[in-house]
Amino acid sequence: MLIGNLPTDVQEEELLAIFSTVGKVSKILIPKDKVGKAMGFAFISMAQQKKNAEAVAALDKSEFRGRLLSVSLKRSEPQRSSLFPFIWS
């Protein structure tokens, strides 16, 4: 799932606490900038695939530290060309 509108100081433990209310979380990734500050979004995977849709239904537009979260199913990433690895195919 893609989680948006997060504060730049969000911690993995905070997201784990929120998403654990729906089911077991298998992975949390919070991308950070060059100085180590969160970029305002995260990727989360639930241990059971069906729980992803349940988390979207339960947590999209919910409030977190004064912000409305954007929770959506992550679209599949485009495949990279093997000849040109830096150009999206």
| Residues in CB range of 67: below 8 A, 6 or more apart | 5, 6, 7
HSE at residue 52, side-chain half, CA atoms within 13 A, is 18
Domain range for 54 is 2-72
Residue 88 counted as domain residue: no
Per-residue pLDDT of the chain (89 residues; tens, 9 = 90+): 999 999 999 999 999 999 999 999 999 999 999 998 999 999 999 999 999 999 999 999 999 999 999 999 976 444 444 544 444 43
**What's the total number of domains in the chain?**
1
Which CATH number belongs to the domain containing residue 43 in this structure? Answer: 3.30.70.330
Residue 86 counted as domain residue: no
pTM: 0.80
